[in-house]
Amino acid sequence: MYTIQTLNKISLKGLELFPRDNYEIATEISNPDAVLVRSYNMLEMDFSKNLKAIARAGAGVNNIPVDKCTEKGIVVFNTPGANANAVKELVLASLFLSSRKVYKGISWAQSLKGKGDEVAQLVEKGKSQFAGPEIKGKKLGVIGLGAIGVMVANDAVSLGMEVIGYDPFISIDSAWELSSSVEKAMSLDHLISTCDYITIHVPYSSKTSGMINKDKFDMMKKGVRLLNFARGGLVVNKDLLEAIDNGTVACYVTDFPEDELLGNDNIITLPHLGASTPESEENCAVMAASQLRDFLEFGNIKNS
Ligand code: MLT
């Protein structure tokens, strides 16, 4: 009998992969063999002595103390690609959101409630404050060409954008299924300095922490729109706020709420919604559960 602790709500389709005569699965288990987790912060957690594996139903592993796990021989799995389509869809939506001031327009239109016959006239007078540019023909830089970055780059090409890609860790030629219409950036600085829109898709680590900082903001075109669906710590907030104040960044869309960024008119903050679709939650849960079963029952370590 294997025991599995779930630290977040995990889609049923994943849990169904564990036959109940062989597995006990619960939130409260004192000495689990394995843990299934989504975004629960495990960094300060004490590990049970039986713990052999942690599976994250998601791509990033920055909520798991990977070094400590390696020291203790605990295997860490993640589910790269399983939520890529969900994140990609929200990134594409955010390209439009960063341009068209839709969200401000919506709350302004709501505020006209009660104005009766004046509504149409007020709309005609006030709507110009919400105008914004089209994305067609504009240049998008994609930093990070894993599953999500590649999907975003390819779909942005079909939206009529000029797309340039860069990955700090892999050669662009090995980026799987990347459209031949995506230009290869000679360097990160080349991408940063030539784009109207920039979207970040690299994992967070000590190597990437703060990679978008004052040096990079100083290179950006005036009025650039920056999207971050990777992790908050990739961008230095103090430098970002300065770049917003001096007009370099027209809009920052982030999926990672941080106190100092809330309430800023040029920042759209989403509550970590990139992977929050039933389809992606199911894909991640099924992939994570299969990895755990394969490991516990056969000792296989396969991260896909
Ligand atoms: C990821 O790292 O893939 C996302 O953070 C997943 C999630 O929202 O749980």
Q: Mention the CATH class of domain 84-269.
A: alpha beta
Q: So what's the ipTM on this one?
A: 0.91
127 CA distance to ligand 1 middle (Å) = 36
Q: Which segments in the chain show pLDDT lower than 50?
A: none
Instruction: Indicate the SS3 state at residue 210.
Output: coil
The pLDDT, as a whole number, for residue 304 is 62
* Alpha carbon 162 to its chain's center: 22
Question: Strand pairing partners for 55?
Answer: 36, 77
Q: Which long-range contacts (CB under 8 A, 24 or more apart) does 119-126 make?
A: none
Query: Where along the chain do the CATH 3.40.50.720 domains lie?
Result: 2-82+278-298, 84-269
78 CA distance to ligand 1 middle (Å) = 10
The pLDDT, as a whole number, for residue 171 is 86
Computed over its alpha carbons, how large is the radius of gyration of the chain?
22
Architecture of domain 2-82+278-298: 3-Layer(aba) Sandwich (3.40)
The reply to whether 272 belongs to the active site is yes
Tell me if 230 sits within 8 A of 205, measured CB to CB. Answer: no
Instruction: Determine if ligand 1 sits within 6 Å of the CB of residue 201.
Output: no
The pLDDT, as a whole number, for residue 81 is 95
Instruction: Determine if ligand 1 sits within 6 Å of the CB of residue 270.
Output: no
d(CA 178, CA 145): 8
Going by C-alpha positions, the residue among 131, 67, 66, 133 that lies closest to residue 95 is 133
Point out the catalytic residue in the list 231, 281, 282, 293: 231
Task: Report pLDDT digits (tens) over 130-147.
Answer: 999 999 999 999 999 999
**H or E stretch including 36?**
strand 34-37
121 CA distance to ligand 1 middle (Å) = 44
Instruction: Indicate the SS3 state at residue 129.
Output: helix
Residue 150, token pair as written in the block: 């590649």
**Residue of the CA atom closest to atom 6 of ligand 1:** 58
